[in-house]
Amino acid sequence: MHTIQSYIAKNKNRFLNELFELLKLPSISADSAYKKEVLQTADFVLTSLKEAGCDKVELCETPGYPIIYGEKIIDKNLPTVLIYGHYDVQPADPIELWTTPPFEPIIKKTDIHPEGAIFARGACDDKGQMYMHIKALEYMTSSGNLPCNVKFMIEGEEEVGSESLSWFVPRNKEKLANDVILISDTGMIANDIPSITTGLRGLSYVEVEVTGPNRDLHSGLYGGAVANPINILTKMIASLHDENNHITIPGFYDKVEELSKEERAEMAKAPFSKEDYKKSIDIGDVYGEVGYTTNERNSIRPTLDVNGIWGGYTGEGAKTVIASKAYAKISMRLVPHQDWKEITKLFKNHFENIAPKAVKVKVTPHHGGQGYVTPIDNIGYQAASLAYQTTFGKIPIPQRSGGSIPIVALFEKELSSKTILMGFGLNSDAIHSPNEHFGVWNYLKGIETIPYFYANFANLYR
Ligand code: BES
Ligand code: MN
Ligand code: MN
């Protein structure tokens, strides 16, 4: 009987080649031009699950992109692990900033990944990390090492808000029943500092439109006498933070969970170098809410950021014009106890209130979701921690992340189970950015670590 280590050594090239085939499919859920490719990717996942040893696989139709379901039930008395992941990816643009094409995967060495990293859109988020689970399953089924039941649920709309999955989960509670949910769609501190993500932030995403005059105007003939919607919009946006970088929306912080001194001291123990942080993204200094550290600012504190802003003339040369309209897309990252629907309402009311009479304001909510915190005093977390101890030789550090996977809170509500976030990516892997990549070492380490999670969980469950 082979160990996971020998199985990986033997099949490493095939594991990479298969992932390359998956990464070649541009499954961009945000852009309807790629509908065919997204559906092709769903089929790819379905086939992979079948080949990895699932007894039953299904392409579940939804109002949007299909959800791929797979299962292997070996004994009803044994616990069940539910794996979640997503096969859709972010758009690749700005495409000109990629050093090699986003859907032509290639291995290149980097300072952080001296053994090579796979460069492609989705390499880390989430195709590479999702596929680790399929290969880990293949090992367990083919070697007779699957210690419990397993279910897979892989969706194609995570990057656009998981609307279809929110529809699917409450309608399929029985089918999805499980004892623990396991996800690899986050990161860890460094390859020699393993960590387990214990928190995700919530999200409220809105679009705003400010309308001034009913048509674009000559900026000489009218300038100074009418409200310029771009001037007004930027002024309104600037007023959303005060001089301490606190958010000024009334009621915004009312439900924010304040951590105790002890909890904050515990968090501060996680290794972090401000100098390396600054260097890694080439900034002169960090910036944020007064009274909080960098790690706190991007995990336990809520934020408000403009993601895009446009209006008026942006073409070549100069055009003297006062635009009729200005727009912005704004995201708010939320922390435990903040309700995203409530925050969206607070934003809308406030934004409408601060607008001068000279303009009209329209706020359109997009998607959103609740934050999530994984407790560490449960067997799911313990199983994960022990797994890392075996394969990394170190106890992983629990760490809250700034990112969001809104569907996780819904899993807890509908399926009453905890989610364990075993992410193997690094912040420097450039997810959502040009030149996204995933370390070959990380990919294989994930495949190696996952079977230990199953074994530990099945053991601790007894
Ligand atoms: N995998 C990410 C979330 C993530 C990455 C969490 C790294 C923690 C660490 C996920 O695919 C994602 O991008 N989520 C979106 C939210 C979604 C509603 C579009 C996000 O966080 O912006
Ligand atoms: Mn993801
Ligand atoms: Mn993502």
Domain ranges, ordered by start, for the chain: 4-200+371-461, 202-256+302-367
Ligand 1 pocket test target in 28, 87, 125 with most atoms within 8 Å of CB: 125
Ligand 1 pocket test target in 158, 201, 366, 429 with most atoms within 8 Å of CB: 158
Nearest ligand 1 atom to the CA of 401 is 8
User: Which residues form the pocket of ligand 1, taking CB atoms under 6 Å from any ligand atom?
Assistant: 125-126, 158-159, 161, 185-187, 200, 203, 367, 401, 403-406
Give the burial string for 404-429 (b: 16+ CB within 10 Å, else e): bbbbbbbbbebbebbbbbbbbbbbbb
Helix-then-strand count for the chain, H and E? 13, 18
| Residue type, position 180, single letter | V
Cβ proximity of 40 and 422 under 8 Å: no
Residue 34 neighbours by CB distance under 10 Å:
19
The Å distance, Cα 273 to ligand 1 centre, comes to 23
DSSP SS3 for 438: strand
pLDDT in tens, the chain (462 residues): 689 999 999 999 999 999 999 999 999 999 999 999 999 999 999 999 999 999 999 999 999 999 999 999 999 999 999 999 999 999 999 999 999 999 999 999 999 999 999 999 999 999 999 999 999 999 999 999 999 999 999 999 999 999 999 999 999 999 999 999 999 999 999 999 999 999 999 999 999 999 999 999 999 999 999 999 999 999 999 999 999 999 999 999 999 999 999 999 989 999 999 999 999 999 999 999 999 999 999 999 999 999 999 999 999 999 999 999 999 999 999 998 999 999 999 999 999 999 999 999 999 999 899 999 999 999 999 999 999 999 999 999 999 999 999 999 999 999 999 999 999 999 999 999 999 999 999 999 999 999 999 999 999 998
CATH topology match: 4-200+371-461 vs 202-256+302-367: no
Q: Cα 412–416–418 angle (5° rounding)?
A: 60
Give the burial string for 110-140 (b: 16+ CB within 10 Å, else e): eebbeebbbbbbbbbbbbbbbbbbbbbbbbb
The Cα 322–Cα 311 span in angstroms is 10
What pLDDT score was predicted for residue 1? 64
Burial of 307 (0-12, 13-18, 19+ CB in 10 A): exposed
CATH topology of domain 4-200+371-461: Aminopeptidase (3.40.630)
Nearest ligand 1 atom to the CA of 162 is 18
Tell the residue nearest (CA) to atom 19 of ligand 1.
159
Beta bridge partners of 199: 373, 400
Ligand 1 pocket test target in 405, 407, 410, 442 with most atoms within 8 Å of CB: 405
- Nearest ligand to the C-alpha of residue 187? 1
- What's the pTM value of the predicted model, to 2 decimals? 0.94
The Å distance, Cα 129 to ligand 1 centre, comes to 13
What pLDDT score was predicted for residue 459? 97
Identify which of 420, 379, 417, 416 has the alpha carbon closest to the alpha carbon of residue 398. 420
User: Going by DSSP bridges, is the β-strand pair 202-211/106-108 parallel, antiparallel, or unpaired?
Assistant: unpaired
Q: Phi and psi of 17, rounded to 5°?
A: -60, -40
CATH number of 202-256+302-367: 3.30.70.360
The Cα 256–Cα 236 span in angstroms is 24
What pLDDT score was predicted for residue 412? 96
Tell the residue nearest (CA) to atom 9 of ligand 1.
186
